[in-house]
Structure 1
Amino acid sequence: MNKQFAGKSALVTGGGSGIGRASALALAAEGALVTVAGRTAVTLKETVRLIEAAGGSARYVVADITDEAQVENAAQAATEDIGRLDLALNNAGYDGEYQLTTDYSTEMLDHMIALNVRGMFLSMKYELRHMVAQGSGAIVNMASGAGLIGVPGFSGYTATKAAEIAMTKSSSLEAAPHGIRINAVCPGLVDTPMIAALDADVRASLSASHPLGRIAQPQEIADAVVWLASDKSSFVTGIALPIDGGYSVP
């Protein structure tokens, strides 16, 4: 059976856990040679192990996406085997904590802007350099449903996620003449280790806030990433796709 990403290379930032790991596994299952990037070697190595155990191909590179030289190096590393970068998922980011705007930590906001805005900007900058040179590619940015609506207590987070969506739209217009598509996915709450650690009553309340009555599994977000990266979405660019069980519906 032919795999849709056979012979293609992919870069996944924040690939050591959660949605990033699920997406890296899903891209590899479709034949991509996946490079996972992030700040923690131990979790990245585990993602590579899982991919290889499933019969896929992967490598890892330690990179802080707020450091321009490290981002450039990660993008270059993803091209080493076949000389091109076909697919990218910019997933690394920072959620922060619940704080009212009047009490919002400036340090937390600065860190969030550095990771979510600067980090995604730098990632696209160097991914696009490779893709423009080769005349093709697909980028998926991990935004959030919080970038589409207001969320009390998360004004800084929503601002950075709205910025990610705006960057996606602007960059998609620049990239389109070069045969490159750029889209964003906007998850609601996802069953990641951070959510799993919450009190059961809190989890139940969060699940109830989604019209479908539950939160997403990482694989459900990964499935959307695969679709947006594939030729099955070949006429789709510049969108911010909610995957949130109806949470952002007005």
Structure 2
Amino acid sequence: MTQRFEGTTALITGGGTGIGRQSALALAALGCTVTVAGRTVATLKDTVEAIAETGGAARYVECDVTDEQSVANAVQVAIGDFGRLDFGINSAGVSGGDNLRKTADYPTEMFDRMIAIDLRGTFLSMKYELRQMQAQGFGSVVNIGSGASVVGVPGFAGYTAAKHGVIGLTRTAALDYGPDGIRVNSIAAGLVNTPLIAAGRSPETMAARIAAHPLGRIADPQEIADAVVWLCSAQSSFVTGVALPVDGGYTAR
């Protein structure tokens, strides 16, 4: 295990599954001490155990990103005895599945849920991550967005609005905190092959989703995690305020 990130710490929301879990594994494999946060303790424990099996250092904290005190506590756990937070990976989110509705028919309660988790949850996570990073004078925040962060998606009013908002937060924070030595970026991810993606979807629906990606497939979680690692690393030291497409060409249309 290379120690490229030895001595660094990271908080990863949504770290029990999908992109968050894979990002935790990738950073830990490079020597970072990671704290995974989320609502489902069982999956968080699975991530921590998987990291421990490969010789990495990790811990978990139960966290609901819609609850401000819960988020503040998670950041403090991640800072821990190190007294620093190098990376904030904000991956917690929900998509709304395939309950497609035109904008005027989109359920208000679903819209509110998208905003509360995907947008407000990202804001709260950034709020407390950035306070620590500003105090220490360095840090990198990576927000996990979507192709829906940069293009419209019919039937997904709430999700698209929330993910567009994440890009706005990313750009504003990059301007606010660049002078403090902090970089803030986002990843506009295409559809990612996680266990939940195919659940409840017909083969025809999945085929249509895959066909929307010019590379003819959807992403492996590791491909998104690789971009997370790069945005945390010194190799991207002059990159801030971007929405990096890792989407198989989805947004090139």
Structure 2 residue 137 is matched with structure 1 residue 135 = yes
Which AA in structure 2 matches 1:137?
G
1:216-235 matched pairs, under 5 angstroms: 216-235=219-238
Please give the alpha-carbon distance, in whole angstroms, between the structure 1 residues aligned to 2:176 and 2:4.
26
SS at match of 1:139: strand
Please give the alpha-carbon distance, in whole angstroms, between the structure 2 residues aligned to 1:168 and 1:40.
26
1:29-178 matched pairs, under 5 angstroms: 29-96=29-96, 97-178=99-180
SS at match of 2:159: helix
Q: CA deviation at 1:109?
A: 0.6
Residue 239 (structure 1) aligns with = 242
* Range that drifts further, 192-201 or 50-59: 192-201
Which AA in structure 2 matches 1:120?
T
Which AA in structure 1 matches 2:233?
S
Q: CA deviation at 1:102?
A: 2.5
Please give the alpha-carbon distance, in whole angstroms, between the structure 1 residues aligned to 2:63 and 2:158.
24
Q: CA deviation at 1:204?
A: 1.8
Q: CA deviation at 1:25?
A: 0.4
Q: Kindly tell me: are residues 21 and 2 of structure 1, through their superposed partners in 2, closer, same or farther at Cα, counting changes over 3 Å?
A: closer
Residue 215 (structure 2) aligns with = 212
Check whether the contact 2:219–2:248 (CA below 8 A) recurs between aligned residues: yes
Check whether the contact 2:14–2:93 (CA below 8 A) recurs between aligned residues: yes
Q: For this pair of structures, how many residues does the alignment match? A: 250
Moved over 3 A (4+): none
SS at match of 2:210: helix
Q: Could you list the per-position Cα deviations for residues 201-243 of structure 1 after superposition, in whole angstroms to 9, with x for gaps in the alignment?
A: 3222211111000000111000000000111100000000011
Q: Could you list the per-position Cα deviations for residues 60-86 of structure 1 after superposition, in whole angstroms to 9, with x for gaps in the alignment?
A: 000101111010000010011311100
SS at match of 1:79: helix
Check whether the contact 2:95–2:159 (CA below 8 A) recurs between aligned residues: yes
Q: CA deviation at 1:92?
A: 0.3
Please give the alpha-carbon distance, in whole angstroms, between the structure 1 residues aligned to 2:105 and 2:252.
29
Residue 10 (structure 2) aligns with = 10
CA RMSD of superposed structures (Å): 1.0
Unaligned stretches of 5+ residues in structure 2: none
Q: Could you list the per-position Cα deviations for residues 172-197 of structure 1 after superposition, in whole angstroms to 9, with x for gaps in the alignment?
A: 11110110000000011111122132
Residue 203 (structure 1) aligns with = 206
TM norm structure 1: 0.98
Q: CA deviation at 1:110?
A: 0.6
Q: Percent identity of the aligned residues?
A: 60
TM norm structure 2: 0.96
Please give the alpha-carbon distance, in whole angstroms, between the structure 1 residues aligned to 2:226 and 2:101.
32
Please give the alpha-carbon distance, in whole angstroms, between the structure 2 residues aligned to 1:136 and 1:99.
43
Q: Could you list the per-position Cα deviations for residues 119-140 of structure 1 after superposition, in whole angstroms to 9, with x for gaps in the alignment?
A: 1111000001110000000000
